[in-house]
Amino acid sequence: MNRFIHVSLFVVTVASATAASAVTVKVPDLFVAQGTTEVTGIVTVSGGTEPIAGLEFGLQVGNGGPSNPSNPPGSPLVPIAISQLDLVFPGSVFSVKPYHEYPRENQSQIFPGEFQAIHAQIIVDGDAPRFVSINGADLSLVRFTLKLHAPSPGRYPLITTNVFLGPSYFGDDSPDNAILDGATFLDGSITVIPEPATVQLAGIAILAITVCGVKGRQR
């Protein structure tokens, strides 16, 4: 069953989803020095004994680039791309049960294997009960790798709440794998910090402008 069939099933049966307490997913806020070419981040999840049957997860850099139909034609690509997105890795929530991952969707390719948006789906398989338990704080949920292509210093959003490929959500433990109620997804960011030399040059330039201004007023 492909991702779109699961999505339809989740949406149709949402009214019957099991009531759940708060589950919070947080994309991290990363900080890297200018000149960094690659960085890895971990998306975490916190909850209290919620049984989870699967996950639909999307990650997008900035506005998603020209492949996002909401953007005007010719929209530039953000010089930061997603090169890897893993839902199953050592220590992750989904590493303790058999699972079935569906082929990823990738959009807005910058370089081969590097994308502006990625969407992935996983369903827990195996013997009953076919779910994993979200029981704890800051558990590892998703691992991603970003490639940086000389981005200018500044903050770049890492979005999971409004990915143009589709929303992120959990399937609950009900027989129909309805959407888990009460889950919150929080966006993150990556901030590129200027090199010390760049900051020093900027300070010298500001000082030079200030001195010139003072001398100009003394004439």
Q: Check the CA dihedral 2-98-25-172 and report its sign.
A: positive
Report yes or no on 219 lying in a domain: no
Report yes or no on 202 lying in a domain: no
Report yes or no on 210 lying in a domain: no
Domain count, the chain: 1
Find tokens 């030399």 and name the residue. 197
Report yes or no on 203 lying in a domain: no
Report yes or no on 208 lying in a domain: no
Tokens found for residue 181: 């109620």
Question: Which residue segment(s) compose the domain that 20 sits in?
Answer: 3-194
Print pLDDT tens along the chain (219 aa): 344 333 323 332 233 344 445 799 999 999 999 999 999 999 999 987 888 899 999 999 999 988 899 999 888 889 999 999 999 999 999 988 888 899 999 998 999 999 999 999 999 887 777 888 888 899 999 999 999 999 999 999 999 999 999 989 999 877 776 888 889 999 999 999 998 744 544 554 455 455 455 555 555
Report yes or no on 74 lying in a domain: yes
Report yes or no on 199 lying in a domain: no
Report yes or no on 110 lying in a domain: yes
* Rounded Cα–Cα distance for residues 196 and 184 (Å): 38
Residue 111 maps to which CATH number?
2.60.40.680
CB half-sphere exposure, 82, CA atoms < 13 A:
32
